[in-house]
Amino acid sequence: MDNTLLITKLTWKNRRYLATAFYQQKQLLEVSLDPLDGQNILGNIYVGRVKDIVKNLNAAFIEIAPGLPCYYSLDEESHPLYVKKINSPRMVQGDEVVVQVVRESSGSKPPRVSAELNFSGKYLALTSGKRSLGISRKLDAETKNRLKEMIDYDKDADFGLIVRTNAAHASEKEIAEEYHKLKQEYHKLKQTAIHRTTFSCLKQGLPEYLNIIRDMKDEQLDKIITDDKEIYGKVRQYLSKFSRQDFMLRFYEDPMLSLSKLYSLEGRLEAALRERVWLKSGGYLIIQPTEALTVIDVNSGKSVAKKKAQEHYLKINLEAAEEIALQLRLRNLSGIIIVDFIDMKSEEDNELLLKTLRTCIRADSVPVQVVDMTKLHLVEITRKKVKKTLAEQLMGI
């Protein structure tokens, strides 16, 4: 299977972006767009100042830069690292605390920060929140037990450790080296933070294209292509740290045809912004994001078959389920998603539809859950929100 990660610069409506696009068999599945004239703060760690406490929300607003307040939930069961603490057992206005940006701003919502600091590697993630050893649920029981025995985790440590899916095929030496590196990074940040001033950036997150490469399994990626020499050098250097073969890395040079044109990136982005998505059967989807949720309507469209109508509706719905799973990834839709499939009389057909949808969403790199089908035959889906939707990225919201 041809799995390709494309990293290139493109212009969209007079604005320049760095695009990281993942293709499977030349079909665009995921894309991340970072404005070249902006600053990405996701993953950054700051010394923030508590500006306000909002009791009815049980939340605080913490500034990480002058005039940039971020939402912080007081429901967090973490142990904040204070640089300056007002004499109070609770977080109060004026406290200076170390926080990490865990969610970008979206629409009218400000960025979200957490006092639960995360230091992610290829195989492990160290967190200052839950102080325990956790292992990815995607791994089987045998692999989990082997990894537990392999990792020398100190239960009295003031941090937790999560073993990532990528650790399944890593050697004991690779895991031990990364564990030591993450511990050093965490302890160094704690030691230096108390001497830093408000709004200091203690740690910058990796560029998004390196985050994507880090999080992908080796078997998920066949090649990485870029037409930018600086990015090519950074990716090559990053790959060498994890002993990953850099033969997968390609530098594209063709003055007659740009890399984005070769992979029809602009055209695919334009299609991903359209409300209507046609299915091969002649049916179509209507995708309408709102402030509260996203609504997806499945229609039979040109596909009309009076004979054996229920069989025909099942066929369209199953095709729609596959396409919906793709569109959620491509458009990076998140939060609550309600899907109105074509009504079917058979309970067996409805169960098959839900089973198919659950199977299709497993390929998503973001946690997705098919909740259930309501009495009105509406299917409820939730998808974790981390980054902005594709539309928000392109519109600069």
What is the reported pLDDT for 322? 96
Nearest-CA neighbor of 73 among 104, 102, 46?
Answer: 102
Residue 354: predicted pLDDT: 95
187 and 70 assigned to the same domain: yes
CA-based radius of gyration for the chain = 23
Do 109 and 153 lie in one domain? The reply is yes
Domain end call among 206, 223, 250: 206
- Does 373 share its domain with 292? yes
Which residue among 190, 206, 222 closes a domain?
206
Helices assigned H by DSSP within 34-127: none
Instruction: Mark whether 167 and 243 lie in a shared domain.
Output: no
Q: Is there a single domain that holds both residue 168 and residue 69?
A: yes
Here the CATH number for the domain that contains residue 10 is: 3.30.420
Residue with tokens 């998808």: 383
Same domain assignment for residues 17 and 137: no
**Per-residue confidence (pLDDT) for residue 306, from 0 to 100:** 59
- Whether residues 225 and 359 share a domain: the answer is no
Domain that holds residue 365: 275-395
Same structural domain for residues 31 and 95? Answer: no
Q: Do 223 and 111 share a structural domain?
A: no
pLDDT attached to residue 179: 92
CATH number at residue 321: 3.40.630
> What CATH number corresponds to the domain at position 180?
2.40.50.140
Residue finishing a domain among 171, 187, 206: 206
Residue 66 CA, chain-centre distance (Å), reads 27
- pLDDT tens track, the chain, 397 positions: 689 999 999 988 888 999 999 999 889 999 999 888 877 889 999 999 999 999 998 999 999 999 999 999 998 877 899 999 998 889 999 999 999 999 888 777 899 999 999 999 989 999 997 788 899 888 889 998 999 888 888 888 889 999 998 888 888 898 999 999 999 999 999 999 999 999 999 999 889 999 999 888 777 888 999 999 999 999 999 888 765 566 689 999 998 999 999 999 999 999 999 999 999 988 999 999 988 899 999 998 765 655 578 888 999 999 999 999 999 999 999 999 999 999 998 899 999 999 999 999 988 988 899 999 998 889 999 999 878 899 988 876 5
DSSP alpha helix (H) spans, the chain: 141-150, 172-193, 208-215, 229-241, 259-262, 265-272, 309-331, 347-361, 390-395
Contact 128, 81 (CB under 8 A): yes
Q: What pTM was estimated for this model as a whole?
A: 0.84
Cα separation, 225 vs 228, whole angstroms: 9
Same domain? For 94 and 188 the reply is yes
Estimate the crossing angle of helix 208-215 against helix 229-241, to 10 degrees.
40
Whether 384 and 338 have beta carbons less than 8 Å apart is answered as: no
What is the distance between the alpha carbons of residues 149 and 271, in angstroms, rounded to a whole number? 49
Q: Which residues contact 363 (CB under 8 A, 6 or more apart)?
A: 325, 329
333 and 193 housed in the same domain: no
Q: Is 172 in the same domain as 305?
A: no
Question: Looking at the 3D structure of the chain, how many domains does it have?
Answer: 3
C-alpha span between 110 and 70 (Å, rounded): 6
Which residues contact residue 206 at a Cβ distance below 8 angstroms, ignoring those fewer than 6 apart? 43, 214
For residue 303, the model assigns a pLDDT of 56
